[in-house]
Amino acid sequence: MKKITPKRLTADWLRKIGVKEVLIPGIIVTVAVLGVKNWRDLGPDIYKNKQAFPDSGVVRVITDGDTFELQNGVRVRMVGINAPTNDEESKNKLGDLIKNKKVWLEYDRYLDDKFGRILAWVWVGCQNPKFLPADYMHLTYNRSREGLKENPEGCKKGKLVQEEMVRTGLAGVEVYKDRGELKYEKRLLDK
């Protein structure tokens, strides 16, 4: 049976190949902006795609006290914390920490949200960190391994941005009820 490849990337085609609904707008924008040649690679293995889920990037826009945009247009929501919406103080603090700087993104068991943003732990001041896989914490359903307390290899002198936001009181720790523990959740709760 011959595989049919459409001439244009459409939302319907992405749905047909099994892409999650929340990712479709981001994929279409990524393809349009970055001119991805082999957009079939953005299908079911989207989480492995470094254009949609980059390892690092330079922060260009601070949207909120817990959300920002990278230079390539990828929107990032910092997992594990929640800053008050439209709070200028938390937005300014986040800007001081990461705006126009290179950040490293470490993924956890939840990779994206219903708004098309990627969810990540955000690190600054690292030198090629070696992060554990996104599914490291996941054992079964909502059971998890013990949380991480130490900085990852390659980021011993780096800072976890979420931790800085909680330490200054400009963001609270967000514990996802009835979900498995996140990598640095207990570390944040200890602040």
Q: In three state form, how does the secondary structure of 14-41 look?
A: HHHCCCCHHHHHHHHHHHHHHCCCCHHH
Q: How far apart are CA 109 and CA 112, in angstroms?
A: 9
- Specify the fold of 54-189: OB fold (Dihydrolipoamide Acetyltransferase, E2P) (2.40.50)
Please tell me the predicted confidence (pLDDT) of residue 1.
46
Q: If you search the block for the tokens 């595989």, which residue do you land on?
A: 3
Give the pTM: 0.78
User: Could you count the other beta carbons within 10 Å of the beta carbon of residue 138?
Assistant: 17
Query: Is pLDDT above 70 for 36?
Result: no
Q: For 118-152, what is each residue's pLDDT tens digit? A: 999 999 999 999 999 999 998 887 788 999 999 99
Domain spans of the chain?
1-52, 54-189
